[in-house]
Amino acid sequence: MTLVESEVRSPMSRSPRRSLGSAFLGLILLSCVTVPSAQVWGDECMREMDLDARELWVRRIADSGDPRAVPVLIDCFEEALRRGKVEAEQGPERKALERVAGRVFGPDIAAWRKWWVSLRGRLSWDAAAGLFREP
């Protein structure tokens, strides 16, 4: 086949395997573009003052299965404490953090950060239990 012939080949003449691979790659790229990260949701949570809205953001972050959710939840919890949100010490940020981490450090942000740094981000998501497991 000459170069000219290959340029005018019909898209229908492409191998089905190649087309499927391209479609799959396209779906993966699309999902990466359209699914916000835990960080984006964390930014929304930190700006939010309404308790019900914060609970929704926190649930979305905690249930994401993304290990980056842990430091985001720590940041959200710290921001809730800093802004003096009345229920912060028992608020949704702390409860979600304790649930997904399987740890209880209370309102001690330094302890949460020290624990996270000690793991170096090495967590695996246990979807059945709804929490992260340490190595």
Q: What is the pLDDT of residues 75-90, one digit of tens each?
A: 999 988 888 775 667 7
Residue 133 has phi, psi (to 5 degrees) of -115, 140
The burial of 100, by beta-carbon neighbours within 10 Å (0-12 exposed, 13-18 middle, 19 or more buried), is given as: buried
Are 27 and 59 in a shared domain? Answer: no
Are 120 and 91 in a shared domain? Answer: yes
Residue 60: closest CA among 32, 35, 91: 35
Q: What pLDDT digit, counting tens, does each position of 57-67 carry?
A: 899 888 888 88
pLDDT at 30: 46
- SS3 of 89, please? helix
Are 77 and 14 in a shared domain? Answer: no
Are 44 and 30 in a shared domain? Answer: no
Are 19 and 80 in a shared domain? Answer: no
Are 42 and 66 in a shared domain? Answer: yes
Residue 38: other Cβ atoms inside 10 A: 21
Are 63 and 110 in a shared domain? Answer: yes
Are 9 and 44 in a shared domain? Answer: no
Q: What's the number of domains the chain is made of?
A: 2
Are 56 and 79 in a shared domain? Answer: yes
pTM, two decimal places: 0.65
Q: Are 87 and 107 in contact (CB under 8 A)?
A: no
Are 77 and 60 in a shared domain? Answer: yes
Residue 4 has pLDDT above 90, yes or no: no
Give the domain range for residue 112: 38-133
Are 62 and 111 in a shared domain? Answer: yes
Are 18 and 49 in a shared domain? Answer: no
